[in-house]
Amino acid sequence: MDVLLQQVINGLVLGSMYALVALGYTMVYGIINLINFAHGEVLMIGALCSWSLINILQPAFPNLPGWMILLMAMALASMAAAALNFAIEKIAYRPLRNAPKLAPLITAIGMSIFLQTIAMIVWKPNYKPFPTLLPSTPIAIGEAVITPTQLMILGLTAVALAVLSWLVNATRLGRAMRATAENPRMASLMGVKPDMVISATFIIGAVLATLAGVMWASNYGTVHHAMGFLPGLKAFTAAVFGGIGNLGGAVVGGLLLGLIESIGSGYLGELTGGVMGSQYSDIFAFLVLILVLTLRPSGLMGERVADRA
């Protein structure tokens, strides 16, 4: 039972990060029907930027507490990532908005590899240790433990979701985003500029992804140029799992996927009699994806949309 509790905690932490990234995927898909393959790389760039920033900030402000440095770096890195994502959308995706569906997909894949390669060049391909800015003494919860970093992840995610919820439901921008997602033409007739809404979506997605990236780096202790690929793919799976285009679904999908992965890889060895161990944990996300798309393509909370002839 104690093992299960630990897996649950780990799963929720992992799932929170998936949720943040999944939101980026689902928002973009909801508005322009594009799977932004490069979204995982935004997570990576955000994390690497924050790593560089911390290496500058720490010696510059030796008296500031670790968590403050971390938050400052997160904020600055978010801005950089947002600017990058804005530029990517404007340069690479916007011209292809009306192109046949293969083109933007290829561009997105190309962009993903491009970003990884640039990261390799700028930051060099080695795995870099991420500075520990938070106290590392774990706190006991029953028989399980939770580290301050993990607590921060859960806390920050909750805050981010609350802010996003407010943004989407209570602000003009949020209304414009929801309207564009439902019916772009009507929205533009009502005075909403689609370009602005789309740019805003990419910016918000980048901020969320950076948060997730910095937290990922804090939790696992390393950053490197390829760190965004798998989390990105899994977050996409989470978005589909929850119902693509549905914000609540992205969160639910993310948390559930985190739990499935954590609990599953913990027990996989026992289940398969030692044949398959936790090295296979990465496959879980893919299996979930395939199952969801085969059995219930609209996801947990998505609507069933018929294909009109």
In angstroms, give the least distance from the CB of 121 to another protein: 5
- Part of the chain binding another protein (CB under 8 A), chosen from 44-52, 118-126, 135-143, 246-254: 118-126
In angstroms, give the least distance from the CB of 113 to another protein: 4
Residues 6+ apart with CB under 8 A from 155: none
Tokens of 289: 């994806």
> Is residue 55 a contact point for another protein (CB under 8 A)?
no
The nearer residue to another protein, 176 or 268, going by C-beta atoms, is 268
Alpha-carbon distance of 188 to 58, in angstroms, equals 47
> Is residue 282 a contact point for another protein (CB under 8 A)?
yes
The nearer residue to another protein, 198 or 214, going by C-beta atoms, is 198
Residues 6+ apart with CB under 8 A from 41: 111, 112, 115, 116, 119, 228, 229, 232
In angstroms, give the least distance from the CB of 247 to another protein: 19
252-288 as b/e: b if 16+ CB within 10 A:
bbbbbbbbbbbbbbbebeeeeeeeeeeeebeebbeeb
DSSP string computed for 161-198: HHHHHHHHHHSHHHHHHHHHHH-HHHHHHTT--HHHHH
Q: Show contacts with another protein in window 239-268 (CB under 8 A).
A: 240
Alpha-carbon distance of 93 to 83, in angstroms, equals 15
In angstroms, give the least distance from the CB of 101 to another protein: 5
- Part of the chain binding another protein (CB under 8 A), chosen from 43-51, 117-125, 130-138, 191-199: 117-125
Q: Show contacts with another protein in window 128-147 (CB under 8 A).
A: none
Closest CA to 93 of 80, 83, 106, 82: 106
In angstroms, give the least distance from the CB of 295 to another protein: 10
Residues 6+ apart with CB under 8 A from 137: 147, 148
Q: Show contacts with another protein in window 77-116 (CB under 8 A).
A: 92, 95-96, 99-107, 109-114, 116
* Residue whose structure tokens are 């689609």: 194
> Is residue 294 a contact point for another protein (CB under 8 A)?
yes
> Is residue 64 a contact point for another protein (CB under 8 A)?
no
Q: By the criterion CB under 8 A, which residues form the site for another protein?
A: 34-35, 92, 95-96, 99-107, 109-114, 116-118, 120-122, 124, 229, 233, 236, 240, 274-276, 279-280, 282-283, 286, 289-290, 293-294, 297, 306-307, 309
